[in-house]
């Protein structure tokens, strides 16, 4: 899948959708920093209450951020459709996060008529080695897929 | 793996360990209801702030609860060792949770010298069909595995 | 999902479908031993050419058998529909197989309108501890799901 | 992980190891085309007997090739050690393969003291969209990891 073209959803529209549909993403402080065609860059700000002793970030925060970023990447292709739902999420924890913001780089690998699939790399800000690698699948509402001209 | 014998950790010791090591499990209200040899039954109480609109439970809560329950099942075999860490977690979301407590039934399928692997079924309390099915792998500290007489 | 009732496909019809659609399952010698509502028991006969040195069974044989068994479990609910396709398969290798037949016990955990999901336990015949645990997802053709009265 | 430096195993040494340890890879015709530091490019030649009706490649061939390629990527970092074993493999089937050779591009995302983790993209030769995306974990023998100066 070529990550070309503009996203079909703006950051502002995505923020509104999340505030309405996914309030926990707001309470965790998740932010969408950039969005493009089939990709998204998101951030979980470092907060003392989300960490494990030793300064590392809790697993549910990492998994929730990955899901949030991949959801943004899906909506970048199908537009602001609230009915795409996560059907599976596989997380591999690779390194202990530093006490810093976590960045999530998501990209779609497939957008089909019924399913979207992509991957997310999670990094501690300022580091090069990933703290986790996540893959996920989303079920796409029929109408949304039908409207996607470039669905492959 | 036969789920026979008594757990090597008590509920009280597990609660203490979580309060020290995994404070988010306390803030989410996760509870260990039962623990046996290679298995655990845990609960996430229904709370308005953990739900998505429509009354469903947020994905990170489900994934965090599954991790918590499988961690208890691992410690039921190796005892109160704080260094077992999750290396992967795969969640399949099957049905929309009801506005009710979520129960997590975890059981180990393997405890090796270096890795433990198990599965978790998540249900809305009072329902029979699972809302999610989770599998996970944990890295076991060498000394803990060595001390486990029944490690298979 | 309650595993009650009779399978919607007979062993003979499943064998015919596999001979036509999945010839590699024939060349690997996979067999369906039992089929019920939402479950199947399959077998890969031990053959010298499928083993690794040391007498263990090759990974692709194990993964192919698990896929075969879960496919049978899907068809036990939707009938002899050739268009159900595997969308994901996650295999955890737990123990080295013995030089013996491999048995695969598959059961569906969900049959939805669009996706089926289930798990498979693989064992060396005569052993109690699993050699592998597999989960898989299948995409269901719309007409097949629509005809399934008991789809949940 | 930066893919820099030379592989610690040559193509010839890898071929010898597979002929001895993994004879099914030879019978399937798998080939290692390129190997570098933490990455490998492999190929399954198109053969009529590995296909499903309609000209597509059987799932076990795709999964076996991905495992083969990721194994090469692991050995590119730890050298010709025969004891690295696959502990999990997750395959997402994305598109129907064409009747052509399948290429597998593997890269390591982590090499730890005990576990290696990486991903593989599978493509039909001449196509740009992946037919499958695979992630896998390998258990590393202690001595091999200890000898790896650049293990991260």
Of B122, B93, B110, B121, nearest to B148 by C-alpha is: B110
Nearest residue in chain B measured CA to CA from A94: B87
Q: What is the DSSP string of C25-44?
A: HHHTT-EEEEEETTEEEEEE
- State whether the Cα torsion C85-C89-C94-C99 is positive or negative: positive
**D152: confidence class by pLDDT, cuts 50, 70, 90:** very low
The predicted model gives A10-27 an average pLDDT of 87
Q: Where are the beta strands (DSSP E) in chain D?
A: 31-36, 39-44, 51-52, 56-57, 85-93, 102-111, 115-124, 132-139
Element (H, E) at B26: helix B23-27
Q: Residue B132: CB partners within 8 Å, gap ≥ 6?
A: B62, B66, B91, B92, B93, B94, B121, B122
pLDDT value for B26? 87
d(CA A90, CA A122): 13
pLDDT value for A21? 81
Biggest CA–CA distance in chain D, Å, is 48
pLDDT value for C136? 98
Q: How many other C-beta atoms lie within 10 A of the C-beta of residue B12?
A: 9
- Per-residue pLDDT reduced to its tens digit, B84-132: 899 999 999 999 998 899 999 999 999 999 999 999 999 999 999 999 9
Report the mean per-residue pLDDT for chain A: 87
Report the mean per-residue pLDDT for chain B: 87
D60: distance to nearest CA of chain C, Å?
5
A45: distance to nearest CA of chain D, Å?
24
pLDDT value for C92? 98
User: In residues, how long is chain A?
Assistant: 152
Of C54, C150, C45, nearest to C108 by C-alpha is: C150
Of A25, A44, A23, A48, nearest to A33 by C-alpha is: A44
Q: Do A20 and B53 touch (CB under 8 A)?
A: yes
pLDDT value for C140? 92
pLDDT value for A62? 95
d(CA C79, CA A117): 28
Nearest residue in chain C measured CA to CA from A110: C87
3-state SS, residue B27: helix
pLDDT value for A151? 40
Report the mean per-residue pLDDT for chain D: 87
Report which of residues D1 and D63 the model is more confident about.
D63
Mutate to test the interface with C, among A88, A139, A146 (most CBs of C within 10 A): A88
The predicted model gives A69-74 an average pLDDT of 96
Contacts of C115 in chain A (CB under 8 A): 87, 139
Q: Residue D80: CB partners within 8 Å, gap ≥ 6?
A: D8, D9, D13, D14, D17
Q: What is the pTM of this model?
A: 0.92
- Per-residue pLDDT reduced to its tens digit, D50-108: 555 555 678 999 999 999 999 999 999 999 877 789 999 999 999 999 889 999 999 99
d(CA B24, CA B18): 9
d(CA D43, CA D35): 12
Q: Which residues of A28-55 are buried (b: 16+ CB within 10 A; e: fewer)?
A: bebbbeebebbbbbbbbebeeebbbeee
Of B143, B145, B90, nearest to B116 by C-alpha is: B145
Question: Is A104:A65 a contact under the CB 8 Å cutoff?
Answer: yes
- Per-residue pLDDT reduced to its tens digit, C71-90: 999 999 999 877 789 999 99
Percentage with pLDDT > 70 across chain C: 84
**B21: confidence class by pLDDT, cuts 50, 70, 90:** confident
User: Which of A134-138, A144-148, C27-31 bottoms out in mean pLDDT, i.e. has the lowest?
Assistant: A144-148
The predicted model gives A35-52 an average pLDDT of 85
pLDDT value for D56? 60
d(CA C19, CA C96): 30
Of D107, D109, D113, D77, nearest to D5 by C-alpha is: D77
- Per-residue pLDDT reduced to its tens digit, C96-116: 998 899 999 999 999 999 999
pLDDT value for D76? 97
The predicted model gives A122-126 an average pLDDT of 96
pLDDT value for B82? 72
Backbone angles phi, psi at C95, to 5 degrees: -145, 155
pLDDT value for C4? 63
User: Which of A69-78, B66-75, B136-145, D134-143 bottoms out in mean pLDDT, i.e. has the lowest?
Assistant: B136-145
Mutate to test the interface with B, among D83, D87, D92 (most CBs of B within 10 A): D87
Mean pLDDT: which of B5-9, B148-152, D63-67 is highest? D63-67
pLDDT value for A112? 93
Backbone angles phi, psi at A98, to 5 degrees: -80, 165
Backbone angles phi, psi at C72, to 5 degrees: -60, -40
A136: distance to nearest CA of chain C, Å?
11
Mutate to test the interface with D, among B85, B87, B142, B145 (most CBs of D within 10 A): B87
Which neighbouring-strand residues pair with D115?
Answer: D139
- How much is the ipTM here? 0.90
How is chain C split into domains, by residue range?
11-147
The predicted model gives D134-146 an average pLDDT of 83
Of A1, A92, A152, the CB nearest to D135: A92
Residues of A with CB under 8 A from a CB of D: 1-2, 90, 92, 94-95, 109-110, 112, 117, 119, 128-130, 133, 135, 137, 152
Nearest residue in chain A measured CA to CA from D90: A90
**What is B11-147's CATH superfamily?**
Hotdog Thioesterase (3.10.129.10)
- The answer, yes or no, to whether residue A125 has pLDDT greater than 70, is yes
- The answer, yes or no, to whether residue C126 has pLDDT greater than 80, is yes
**A54: confidence class by pLDDT, cuts 50, 70, 90:** low
**D146: confidence class by pLDDT, cuts 50, 70, 90:** low
- The answer, yes or no, to whether residue D148 has pLDDT greater than 80, is no
Q: Do A115 and C139 touch (CB under 8 A)?
A: yes
Element (H, E) at C16: helix C11-21
B5: distance to nearest CA of chain C, Å?
17
- Per-residue pLDDT reduced to its tens digit, C11-62: 999 999 888 888 788 888 999 999 999 999 999 998 766 555 555 678 999 9
D65: distance to nearest CA of chain C, Å?
9
């Amino acid at each position: 899948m070529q990550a070309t073209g503009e996203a079909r959803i703006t950051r502002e529209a995505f923020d509104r959708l999340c505030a309405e549909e996914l309030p926990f993403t707001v309470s965790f402080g998740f932010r969408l920093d950039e969005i493009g065609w089939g990709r998204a860059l998101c951030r979980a700000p470092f907060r003392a209450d989300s960490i494990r002793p030793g300064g590392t970030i809790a697993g549910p925060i990492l998994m929730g951020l990955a899901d949030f970023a991949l959801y943004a990447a899906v909506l970048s292709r199908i537009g602001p459709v609230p009915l795409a739902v996560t059907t599976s999420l596989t997380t591999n924890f690779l390194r202990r996060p530093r006490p810093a913001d976590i960045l999530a780089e998501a990209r779609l690998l497939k957008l089909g008529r019924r399913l979207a699939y992509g991957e997310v790399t999670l990094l501690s800000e300022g580091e090069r080695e990933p703290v986790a690698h996540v893959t996920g699948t989303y079920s796409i509402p029929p109408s949304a897929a039908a409207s996607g001209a470039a669905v492959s």
